């Protein structure tokens, strides 16, 4: 495992990390989470991603219980959470707890996450989506204040436009506040525009780091959806029915079939090929993996050995297959 600076910050994150979306509480209980966190940590993973909204707070509870069981030194791992939807994307009861980055919500949200995770501070906090109804300055001040209070160490954004990230960074620069240091975008073989084009100027000009999500496009890039939706997979979960059409996209599944030949020639799995392809991008600080089972995590960590095998010729072949289908 190698470690990369999170953007311009001094924090070193492992090139592969592990997240809890969909899995924790729904597919992965505390025992299994503890086992997977331990396996990842033993392989050198030092960053674990979470969000307030995942399983309506229960994902933070599971991760907190697992940390407690593992008794790691707090200096040795990095944990994140994200704020925007409140505890539930559906909840519409209080205007201050739904789809917002206003100060009232953010200052309460951090306390809830700390409580659920049983931690004194969280390393990375994210604005989970942009909020066009709150002035960016209000959000920047609240995030910066949370850091000044010592409840979190670094802050960033997720799925913000380049223009909004730059606006936030400039407000912080102007007022000597804590600047956003990282963004969490979707990035995989079929989803590339933002990371490769839209953010291009931000890397050097603001020192933006990236913690990228859904490296396997929710499993599509493993080839498991080529013959329909397998039982027990993410696509089979009732709560994920909205993603089924994307997972069964015929053109993308045919492209995955073509990638299989490249993976076989390299002696790796499709998942490893897709993850290694992301990891070779030096703008990516860490690739956040997802896994519902230990065997998947082990497969995915094997991508580390594949990254050095991706020569420009092989990358050109991969691009010829996937780029025409990428957003
Ligand atoms: N900021 C954001 O808005 C945002 C959004 C999404 C995710 N994220 C973060 O990014 C992390 C990773 O995203 P993701 O879970 O969507 O990643 P992903 O790698 O695209 O999908 C992971 C899922 O694919 C299946 N899978 C993984 N490895 C496999 C393998 N080797 N063989 C077969 N199936 C395999 C598993 O689902 P099944 O076994 O159930 O099929 C697993 O849960 C999340 O946990 C979260 O921390 C952030």
- pTM of the complete model: 0.97
CA of 290 to the centre of ligand 1 (A): 3
- What is the position in ligand 1's atom list of the atom closest to the CA of 299? 31
Q: Establish whether residue 211 lines the binding site of ligand 1, counting it when its CB lies within 6 angstroms of any ligand atom.
A: no
Calpha distance 165→257 (Å, rounded): 37
What does the domain layout of the chain look like in residue ranges? 3-218+281-309
Q: Establish whether residue 17 lines the binding site of ligand 1, counting it when its CB lies within 6 angstroms of any ligand atom.
A: no
Query: Is pLDDT above 90 for 88?
Result: no
CA of 267 to the centre of ligand 1 (A): 23
Topology adopted by domain 3-218+281-309: TIM Barrel (3.20.20)
CA of 26 to the centre of ligand 1 (A): 13
Query: Is pLDDT above 70 for 274?
Result: yes
- What is the position in ligand 1's atom list of the atom closest to the CA of 300? 31
Q: Categorize the per-residue pLDDT at 93 as very low, low, confident or very high, splitting at 50, 70 and 90.
A: low
- 42 Cβ contact list (under 8 Å, min separation 6): none
Active site residues: 54
Calpha distance 276→205 (Å, rounded): 27
Q: Categorize the per-residue pLDDT at 87 as very low, low, confident or very high, splitting at 50, 70 and 90.
A: confident
Q: Categorize the per-residue pLDDT at 95 as very low, low, confident or very high, splitting at 50, 70 and 90.
A: low
The residue-averaged pLDDT of 97-108 equals 88
CA 274 remoteness from chain centre? 15
The residue-averaged pLDDT of 146-171 equals 98
Q: Establish whether residue 286 lines the binding site of ligand 1, counting it when its CB lies within 6 angstroms of any ligand atom.
A: no
Distances (CA, A) of 136 to 109, 167, 174, 210, 320: 18, 8, 13, 20, 40
Share of the chain above pLDDT 70, in %: 97
Query: Is pLDDT above 70 for 119?
Result: yes
- Per-residue pLDDT tens for 222-247? 999 999 999 999 999 999 999 999 99
Q: Phi, psi at residue 240, to the nearest 5°?
A: -110, 20
Calpha distance 202→259 (Å, rounded): 31
Q: Report the mean per-residue pLDDT for the chain.
A: 96
CA of 135 to the centre of ligand 1 (A): 32
Calpha distance 235→215 (Å, rounded): 16
Q: Which of 75-89, 269-283, 291-305 has the lowest mean pLDDT?
A: 75-89
């Amino acid at each position: 495992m190698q470690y990369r600076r999170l953007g311009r910050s001094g924090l070193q994150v492992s090139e592969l990390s592990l997240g809890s979306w969909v899995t924790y509480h729904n597919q992965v209980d505390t025992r299994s989470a503890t086992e997977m966190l331990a396996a990842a940590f033993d392989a050198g993973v030092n960053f674990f991603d979470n969000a307030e909204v995942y399983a309506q707070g229960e994902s933070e509870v599971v991760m907190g219980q697992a940390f407690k069981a593992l008794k790691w030194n707090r200096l040795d791992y990095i944990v994140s959470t994200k704020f925007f939807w409140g505890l539930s994307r559906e909840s519409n009861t209080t205007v201050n707890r739904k789809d917002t980055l206003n100060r009232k919500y953010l200052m309460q949200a951090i306390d809830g996450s700390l409580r659920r995770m049983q931690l004194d501070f969280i390393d990375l906090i994210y604005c989970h989506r942009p909020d066009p109804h709150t002035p960016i300055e209000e959000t920047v001040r609240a995030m910066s204040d949370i850091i000044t209070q010592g409840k979190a160490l670094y802050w960033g954004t997720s799925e913000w436009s380049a223009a909004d990230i730059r606006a936030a960074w400039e407000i912080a620069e102007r007022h000597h506040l804590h600047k956003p240091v990282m963004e969490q975008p979707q990035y995989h073989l079929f989803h590339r525009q933002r990371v490769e084009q839209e953010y291009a100027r931000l890397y050097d000009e603001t020192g933006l780091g990236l913690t990228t999500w859904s490296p396997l496009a929710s499993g599509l890039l493993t080839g498991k959806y080529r013959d329909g939706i397998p039982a027990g997979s993410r696509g089979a979960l009732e709560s994920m029915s909205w993603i089924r059409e994307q997972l069964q996209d015929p053109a993308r599944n045919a492209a995955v079939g073509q990638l299989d030949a490249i993976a076989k020639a390299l002696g790796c799995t499709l998942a490893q090929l897709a993850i290694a392809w992301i990891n070779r991008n030096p703008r990516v600080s860490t690739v956040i993996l997802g896994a519902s089972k230990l065997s998947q995590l082990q497969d995915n960590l094997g991508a580390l050995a594949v990254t050095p095998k991706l020569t420009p010729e092989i990358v050109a072949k991969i691009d010829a297959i996937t780029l025409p289908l990428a957003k």
